Amino acid sequence: MIESRMNRRVFWGASAVILAMLSAALVAPGASDLVFKAAQSWAIDTFGWLYIAAVVGFLVVVLALGFGPAGRLKLGPEDAEPDFPYVSWLAMLFAAGMGIGLMYFAVAEPIQHYSAPPEAQPGTIDAAREAMAITFHHYGVHAWAIYALVGLSLAYFTYRKGLPLTLRSGLYPILGKRIRGPIGDAIDIFAVCGTVFGVSTSLGFGVSQMTAGLAYNYGLPDNTTMKVGVIVLVMGAATLSVLSGADRGVRRLSELNLALAVLLMLFVLAEGPTLFLLRALVQNFGLYLDHFFERSFKLYAYEPRAWMADWTLFYWAWWIAWSPFVGMFIARISRGRTIREFVIGVLFVPTAFTFLWMTVFGNSAIALDLGTAGGQIAHAVQENLSTALFKFLEYLPGSGFTSTLSIVLVAVFFITSADSGALVIDTLASGGEEDTPRWQRMYWCLLLGATATALLIAGGLGALQTATLLAALPFCFVMILLAFGLVRQTSADLAGITISDDEPATVSERLKRLFVPSSKAQIVRQLAERGAPALRSVCEAMLAEGWADSHVTEGEGQAALTITFGPESRFVYSLGTRSRPLPAYTALEASEGRRSLTWMMTGQVATERHRDLTGLTEQQIVNDVLTQLERWRPAA
């Protein structure tokens, strides 16, 4: 049985906050809705400029890290391999990042912009072009840059710096040891609450679309009882998935999810106006690039209009509010990838798929509404967003099958959002521990279902959605600190000090190492006579300073120094033996006509590549340990 390692302050503190806010939304949904909406309107009116500027800044930081010198740094040890295959990784981050939103808004949002654009004449060709350009902007690299920044910060400090997989770890360069106190607990409580409320409101969208689809296609009742029943069934499946862990249930469901989504999209592409959609995709992308900088900074400062607050600012706040959940989940599945690979995978691949998805569904819906549908799709969107997709599919062949497939796809999105959300919350509430008891994972999964159910029954979903968006304002400042800390830490790591040779080897010694291969026995003896004593010397000094948990372990051809800085952070310096081929110009190769091996003593911190320490003195190895210890400590 796995022992519980929960952070009790975060676990029970977040549970209490969730209960309090849920009670307010249930007891007085109308009043709480008014209060939260007033606060959200004030936040957007007062700090809308900050959302716009901050999101652009996040995009710039992510691009600079991904394609600058820091891009080669790995999220983990230098020899680490990714935990998941590339396709599985993309499927999981895609399902967590957009999920139900793509199904719910793929038809609805382009039609809404087409019917009521901010600048063009409604219902015209210009309105159609503007609608797709706006949709691309809302679901493009800006949204994924928000997720990428949080995910990259957490993955870097967790897998490269040995800190726990919690939101507070990304603030270590700013707060130092204070992240382990009340400030760090408050940050993690905030992240847990935001994730629970954000996922719960998204589940509300999902269940509304599922029951609307069942009612629209099969005549089943679309009432509260039906919605509760759907939540119970789907959350039961999500609980089974979350109990199996990210490497099994979540991964397989995400892969199924992506496969079903691609199948539905290809069907619509084939049966819809295919050539028009391909042309539209290219032109939509061109419009997106053409207006990229203008829309990135556009606030309608000279011609104020409510559209900006209702759409772009709303979306930026929504993505920021969701970023603790999505960023944590992406970080959890991204160990072993380089920063450049992470940025390309998180920023561009999902964006490209989303552009294709929105073009296929959005442009098809607009084309049909202009022609065969005669405005009926726009009318359905205005009447009930949840039925928009099913009304659209009526105008394509096989609508019975595609509607059923869509309901299944929403259900799978529902499950993947719930199980990945529960895993993230459990990790946050457990101080970064991933191997937790089953009851803890079940607790958060059931709490998500109970929250969504209670809000649907009481009609408080709108109030909690608004409260979630309001939480984006303080977290925007947290993200600015995350960006600053990540840039500071990667810069410090890139400028790391190399080994200091206090006693440089003579020319003859260096030539001997170059041309005469060392045997394994010689290196093992060198490690025992110089390496292990150096580690013991550092350990004794650390113990004298009060680090009682510091210790050295030794074995044949290996030794390791472990220094414990607290329950959440350990420094491990390992010595070992490795072999490598001799250079092609060695005398041995020339005389024997073959490549041979030479052995060397290596030093490694868990976050670095193996370094050749062969021939160093005991004092030089001590100096290297201290240098690596200094580099390993997160920049303060």
pLDDT one-digit tens code per residue, 306-323: 888 888 988 898 888 888
**C-beta separation of 418 from 95 below 8 A:** no
DSSP H helices in 272-298: 274-290, 292-297
Distance (Å, whole) CA 188 – CA 122: 45
Give the predicted TM-score (pTM) of the model: 0.75
Could you give all domains of the chain from N- to C-terminal order, each with its CATH number? 8-491 (1.20.1740), 507-632 (no CATH)
DSSP state of 603: E
Q: Is the pLDDT assigned to residue 3 strictly greater than 60?
A: no
**C-beta separation of 93 from 351 below 8 A:** no
Can you give the pLDDT at residue 568?
65
Give the pLDDT band of residue 338 (cuts 50, 70, 90).
very high
Q: Is the pLDDT assigned to residue 634 strictly greater than 70?
A: no
Helix axes 141-159, 29-67, angle to 10 degrees: 70
Give the pLDDT band of residue 633 (cuts 50, 70, 90).
low
For 550-589, the pLDDT digits (tens) are 888 888 888 998 888 766 677 888 998 887 765 443 333 4
Give the pLDDT band of residue 291 (cuts 50, 70, 90).
very high
Give the pLDDT band of residue 255 (cuts 50, 70, 90).
confident
Q: Angle at the Cα of 113 (from 292 to 463), degrees rounded to 5? A: 100
Q: Token pair 């999500």 is at which residue?
A: 238
What is the bridge-based pairing of β-strands 551-555 and 597-605?
A: unpaired
